[in-house]
Amino acid sequence: MAWSRDGNASKPPYQSHSLDEPGEAWRRALRRFIGPPLRQSFGELLGTDDAGSLDAALRHYRDRFSVTGLFENTLYPFVPGALAALQAARHRMWVVTSRPTVYATRSVEHFLLTPYFEAVHGSELTGERSDKVELVAHVLSVEELDPAQTWMIGDRAHDIRGGRSNGTHTAGVLWGYGSRQELAEAGADIIVETMDPLIARFASAGHVLAANEANAVRPPRCILYLRTAAASPGLAAEAHSVRQQ
């Protein structure tokens, strides 16, 4: 089965290649798997923690995703304008996602979002740094960002926990795949339903924003996890950082 990832920048297609036409019940069941690290999701779906079985599942998934699935997401129409507004406000931005860097980079390039971001930070194909807490810590260190001046923006609980565990501010967005309850229980500092209030919040602030690629794409699932502002199965920008220059 192949699913697009996050829902912050793009929206995944909910594709299952084991079922011809997955119905609404299947869509609801699969929704919770959009966003978290893929190995974790396969472990739950397959009911196993066997490394060999999970490695095989990842290989099968990537065989199709790397060629076709990566481009089946849909960019949220409001994402480019939002990124341009944040850039005009002199914010610096990074994509921070649990998705492998090699795929996240191709997704950002495909949706012509590269000019807005200084770098794309993701996991390794081996699974290293697929945990959002570890990944955000890595980004803060490599980019030399002050957590107190950094915002992690995402649509799922693991985005919020990744930021909070590292001392950043956090913003949950509701145009992705997480619910208000999920984001609130994870401890998001603010929760917004649309991009407009988020842009207004950071119009003149000197904070660093961390966003997810899923926030920009809608899989057929970046902005800063702003994991979430295109609609694409591969992008689902998992996390991004933005800092005022």
Quick one: CA dihedral 137, 139, 145, 149, positive or negative? negative
E strands, 44-198, in order: 74-75, 91-100, 119-123, 150-154, 169-173, 190-192
- The tokens for 210 are 């961390």
C-alpha closest to that of 227 among 208, 241, 214: 214
186 vs 183: CA distance, rounded Å: 5
What are the structural domains of the chain? 1-245 (3.40.50.1000)
Q: Are strands 91-100 and 119-123 parallel, antiparallel or unpaired?
A: parallel
C-alpha to C-alpha distance for 48 and 188, rounded to whole angstroms: 31
Q: What is the mean pLDDT of residues 15-19?
A: 42
User: How far is CA 31 from its chain centroid?
Assistant: 14
CA distance 74 to 104: 14
Give pLDDT tens digits for 34-67.
666 777 777 877 788 888 877 787 787 777 877 8
Residues paired with residue 94 on neighbouring β-strands, in sequence order: 119, 241
Q: Is the pLDDT of residue 140 over 90?
A: yes
Check whether 209 has a pLDDT greater than 80: no
Sign of the alpha-carbon dihedral angle for 87, 92, 98, 104: positive
Tokens representing 97? 């996602």
* Residue 233, pLDDT score: 33
